[in-house]
């Protein structure tokens, strides 16, 4: 299935077909969509995956590029007039993700050509919560005290760990209202 197209025109330049991509299409690139644009202020260095992941999803969603990482935008055949637009869009998102990674992590995934594969690779390496990681977060949470800090500052520190914990723990798929039970359990753990 081809992405939205406003119209297509033929050009004799190198006998290529030049297509005009509809601005609502995920393959549409604005002049501000340069590969050098930084999506995150601090490159991901292996810690804080949850916040990096969330930030990247938000930015990709704002740019209408989530389909590039989740595979919902199929790569067109080389003969499709949108093939080059898809390649450019893929390369732009790959470059943005690479720019958001610490240089050591970037070296590991630098030669991954598909943005979908790149996203899955980073997710597989850093997105899987281990028991050790969950234990560490809970240990950090248990040692936090307000001390002389303001309530807002204290809550901000706790909230950071709660969010990391929520991202790290996966609950089984629910049927018949068990999700409410998991949410109640999570809330009780926050109180403790």
CB burial string 9-45: b at 16+ within 10 A, e below: eeeeeeeeeebebeeebbbbbeeebeeeeebbeebbe
pTM here is 0.63
Q: What whole-number distance in Å separates Cα of residue 141 and Cα of residue 32?
A: 41
**Mean per-residue pLDDT for 169-175?**
62
Spatial contact of 64 and 7, defined as CB atoms under 8 Å apart: no
pLDDT band at 48 (very low <50, low <70, confident <90, very high): confident
pLDDT band at 188 (very low <50, low <70, confident <90, very high): low
Q: Which of 1-15, 59-73, 79-93, 137-151 has the lowest mean pLDDT?
A: 1-15
Residue 61: pLDDT above 70? yes
**Mean per-residue pLDDT for 73-99?**
91
Q: What is the pLDDT of residue 134?
A: 76
β-sheet bridge partners, residue 10: 17
* Domain ranges across the chain: 5-126, 131-191
Q: What is the pLDDT of residue 13?
A: 36
**Mean per-residue pLDDT for 181-185?**
64
pLDDT band at 173 (very low <50, low <70, confident <90, very high): low
Q: What is the pLDDT of residue 171?
A: 59
Output 27 or 17, whichever has higher pLDDT. 27
């Amino acid at each position: 299935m081809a992405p939205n197209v406003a119209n297509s025109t033929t050009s004799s330049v190198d006998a290529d077909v030049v297509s005009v991509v509809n601005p609502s299409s995920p393959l549409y690139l604005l002049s501000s969509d340069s590969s050098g644009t930084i999506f995150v202020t601090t490159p991901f260095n292996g810690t804080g995956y949850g916040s990096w992941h969330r930030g990247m999803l938000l930015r990709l969603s704002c740019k209408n590029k989530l389909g590039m990482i989740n595979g919902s935008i199929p790569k067109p055949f080389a003969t499709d007039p949108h093939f080059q637009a898809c390649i450019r869009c893929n390369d732009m998102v790959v470059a943005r993700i690479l720019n958001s990674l610490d240089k050591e992590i970037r070296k590991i995934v630098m030669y991954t050509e598909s943005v979908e594969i790149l996203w899955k690779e980073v997710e597989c390496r850093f997105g899987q919560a281990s028991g050790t990681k969950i234990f560490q977060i809970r240990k950090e949470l248990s040692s936090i005290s307000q001390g002389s800090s303001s309530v807002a500052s204290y809550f901000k520190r706790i909230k950071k760990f709660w969010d990391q914990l929520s991202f790290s723990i996966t609950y089984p798929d629910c049927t018949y209202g068990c999700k409410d039970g998991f949410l109640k359990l999570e809330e009780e753990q926050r109180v403790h």
